[in-house]
Amino acid sequence: TQLLEQSPQFLSIQEGENLTVYCNSSSVFSSLQWYRQEPGEGPVLLVTVVTGGEVKKLKRLTFQFGDARKDSSLHITAAQPGDTGLYLCAGPNSGNTGKLIFGQGTTLQVKP
């Protein structure tokens, strides 16, 4: 069974601090995605990483896919209160049927 484990599960920081969220698996994934979800809303896709070692940047967010395609990280520089939310990593199941497997999420709270 493919599993994605995220750490930490909860993070509370002050505005302006940097942070990193991790997404790990013992399985190889063809790609990994990161979503952000605000309370009462559905997740919104931030990025998809496809190639081992790939790094993508989205303003203050940096996403990296591990060389072996078993893990990924999300680094936020100078966090702002607007970054508050649930961050989810997800990857396609091994059968490539279109189904995504989600990690349990990292809840980020950025205090002003």
| Interface with other proteins (CB under 8 A) | 4, 6, 9, 31, 33, 35, 40-45, 48, 86, 88, 90, 92, 97-105, 107
Minimum CB distance to other proteins smaller for 5 or for 62: 5
Minimum CB distance to other proteins smaller for 16 or for 99: 99
- Minimal distance in Å, beta carbon 52 to other proteins? 17
- Minimal distance in Å, beta carbon 16 to other proteins? 25
Minimum CB distance to other proteins smaller for 51 or for 78: 51
Annotate 37-89 with DSSP letters as a single string. Answer: E-TTS--EEEEEE-STT-EEEETTEEEEE-TTSSEEEEEESS--GGG-EEEEE
- Minimal distance in Å, beta carbon 27 to other proteins? 16
Q: Residue with structure tokens 């069974």?
A: 1
Q: Residue with structure tokens 């059968």?
A: 95
Q: What sign results for the dihedral spanned by CA atoms 40, 61, 108, 112?
A: negative
